[in-house]
Amino acid sequence: MQLPIINLNGTAASDLLEQHQTVARDLRSAVQALQEACPHGRDYQTLGGEKASEALHRALDEHSNRLLKLRQVLAEMETIVEHVFHGK
C-alpha cells in the first residue's frame, strides 16, 4: 500500500489525519451495520428444504465476504491514520 508522504507542498498532515479518521470511523459504522444485517434462515424458508438451506449458506458466505472486504479497507485506513499520526 502506498502511504502518503507528508511534505510542505502536499495536504496538511492534520487534514489528512482528519479525513482518514473520518473514513475509518464511518467504515466501523458500516461494519457494525452490515453485521446487524446478517442473513437469517427465516428469510429463505419459503424455498423449502434443501433449497432453503443452500440459499442460506450461500447468503451467509456472501455476507461474510462483504464483511471481510469492509474490514480490509478499514485496516488500510487505520494503517494510513497511524502513519500520518506518527508523521512517517
DSSP readout, the chain?
A: -PPP---TTS--HHHHHHHHHHHHHHHHHHHHHHHHT---GGGTGGG-HHHHHHHHHHHHHHHHHHHHHHHHHHHHHHHHHHHHHTT-
> pLDDT value at position 49?
86
Share of the chain above pLDDT 90, in %: 92
pLDDT tens track for 6-43: 999 999 999 999 999 999 999 999 999 999 999 999 99
Report the C-alpha gap between 15 and 40 in whole angstroms: 41
Question: Does residue 83 contact residue 47 with C-beta atoms inside 8 Å?
Answer: no
Name the percent of the chain lying above pLDDT 70.
99
pLDDT digit string, tens, across residues 38-81: 999 999 988 888 999 999 999 999 999 999 999 999 999 999 99
- Cβ atoms 3, 83 nearer than 8 A: yes
pTM greater than the 0.75 cutoff? yes
